[in-house]
Amino acid sequence: MLTEIECRDLGGPTNIYCSCACVHDGQSKLLIAVRSQLYCLSAVERLESSSSDMLPKMNVRWNLQSIQLYGIAPEAEIISVTCLPESISTSMNKGRTPVIALTSILGSEKTLHIYGSKNTREHGTVDLCTVFASHEECQTIRLDYFPTQLGHLTDSSPTFLVGGAIVDGNEVKGGNPVGSVHLYEYHPQQRIFVENKLEQEDEMMENLPSTPLSFDVKLIKSRRITAIGCQNGHTQLSVTDLSYQSQSILLDGPVPSVRIFETRTQKSFVSLDVPSQLGHNTVLSQLDTSVTAAVPLPLFSSGEELNLVVADATGRAIIFQDIAKELLKRPRVLPHSMDYDSITCIQLADVDFDGNYELLLGTYGQQVLVYREVDTDTVVVQNHLGDVRETREKEWKLCQRISLPAPVQSMVWTPLVRDGTNLLAVITVNAVHILQPELQKAKEKIIEVINIATELKELENKFQAINRRQEELKKQLE
């Protein structure tokens, strides 16, 4: 399913919060922090004609660039890095640059740095190196806690969330520092981020019994779902709808990663939006030049149940099923997840292009484990009204195991190459590995989507012709 196509040495150790994807100048890029250094991995692409295949061949050269950072001393250590979604940064600075945050420590000094939010340039795309090197583009916020994961509240608001342990205060519970997740909101008039108090539905992220190592927040229709994993194994889930529900459990060890997900992807397996910067140099435009707009495909069902997958550092991954209704009452351990040392990270990716997520686990035992949900036995169920129906039980099965030369720290699933498909970037303790899905399946799915798009275009043309004919007949009758 996944094969390695590139590997680059990073020259130093990474951590589990060290990477993120960002979009700059129409291209997805990978940011990786190593000690006080930030690297940017990007693809330099060139399309070559191919007489033996319907699709042109993409020739890719990989560029790993060191980025100079304003405000980060050479002796400092970058703890975490993240980037706001492209839609938010576009609303903040008209897409001239991504908005990126990172945390660092130097002795007792702990800092949050935010780059790209000030929007000091009025015209044109700003070079990424210029953004990071300029004091005009950087906001520095001193922290009174030790930072962990960086994230954001939702995909529609300019906010950053920073997990942390209170290390400078005297508030202690059970001998451990109290943990909290801190909220920083954007003020457009001042063009700065300011720490604000969490809203009532997010108060569960405050006064935690231990340091929060991981969190995930999803806003789905009217539901707000929040999951948090802590250093002492405390795992907490809350669902805010018309009412508020919350449940917590204590696992055997630290919880380095939590992810809320639906089995089916929220998007089709390939985007038909061709970036304007690319013109006709993409695989999609080479296939059918009559396709000029995005074609939405009904691959996402809002009725899908929500699940939570939790990584326990003692060496297992647990899926809690149907969390919107059952909270943490339906756990299931992923098979063989205890066989390869501690689990360090979780990623969701549709690696076989069937519209369903696969679960990917990165382990300290130098493995990437790929799980797929499959049907098992047929069972008969009865609802509260007495109606009886047959349904298929589902379970997650290990379908691929990828061995790497070093422990896995993080994974990013993003379209580094602009051919319509995603790649998996796996960051180990000292290198980044690029893994590619099976392209033959990608080709088949792309061609299938193009055929659907072409048929829809033909139907649209016929419909417009019928409307024109009706208008002509109406004028004749008048």
* pLDDT tens digits along 36-60: 999 999 998 877 766 555 556 668 8
Domain boundaries, the chain: 212-266+304-365+367-403, 440-477
**Rounded Cα gap, residues 9 and 430, in angstroms:** 6
Q: What is the pLDDT of residues 271-284, one digit of tens each?
A: 333 333 333 333 33
What pLDDT was estimated at residue 282? 37
Closest to 258 measured CA to CA, from 293, 229, 289, 298: 229
What pLDDT was estimated at residue 275? 36
Top-confidence residue, 6 or 451? 6
Distance of alpha carbon 425 from the chain centroid: 12
What pLDDT was estimated at residue 18? 93
**Rounded Cα gap, residues 225 and 238, in angstroms:** 6
The proportion of the chain whose per-residue pLDDT surpasses 90, expressed as a percent, equals: 45
What pLDDT was estimated at residue 298? 32
Q: What is the mean pLDDT of residues 70-76?
A: 91
Q: Which of 171-180, 189-198, 290-299 shows the lowest mean pLDDT across its residues?
A: 290-299
Top-confidence residue, 395 or 403? 403
**Rounded Cα gap, residues 106 and 72, in angstroms:** 9
Whether 189 shows a pLDDT value over 70: the answer reads yes
Q: What is the pTM of this model?
A: 0.81
Top-confidence residue, 118 or 107? 107
Residue 13: Cβ-neighbour burial (10 angstroms; 0-12, 13-18, 19+): middle
pLDDT band at 311 (very low <50, low <70, confident <90, very high): very high
The proportion of the chain whose per-residue pLDDT surpasses 70, expressed as a percent, equals: 80
What pLDDT was estimated at residue 235? 94
Sign of CA dihedral 150, 153, 154, 157: negative
Query: Average model confidence (pLDDT) for the chain?
Result: 82
Contact 100/92 with Cβ under 8 angstroms?
no
Whether 180 shows a pLDDT value over 80: the answer reads yes
Whether 83 shows a pLDDT value over 70: the answer reads yes
**Rounded Cα gap, residues 321 and 312, in angstroms:** 17
Instruction: Output the DSSP codes for 392-457.
Output: EEEEEEEEEEEE-SS-EEEEEEE--SSSS--EEEEEESSEEEEEEE-HHHHHHHHHHHHHHHHHHH
* Best mean pLDDT range from 245-249, 382-386, 400-404: 400-404
Q: What is the mean pLDDT of residues 101-130?
A: 81
Contact 331/318 with Cβ under 8 angstroms?
yes
Top-confidence residue, 324 or 92? 324
Please tell me the CATH code under which domain 212-266+304-365+367-403 is placed. Answer: 2.130.10.10
Question: Bridge-partner residues for 113, per DSSP?
Answer: 102, 140
Q: What is the pLDDT of residues 259-272, one digit of tens each?
A: 999 877 654 333 33
Whether 389 shows a pLDDT value over 80: the answer reads no
Whether 289 shows a pLDDT value over 80: the answer reads no
Residue with tokens 């006709």: 280
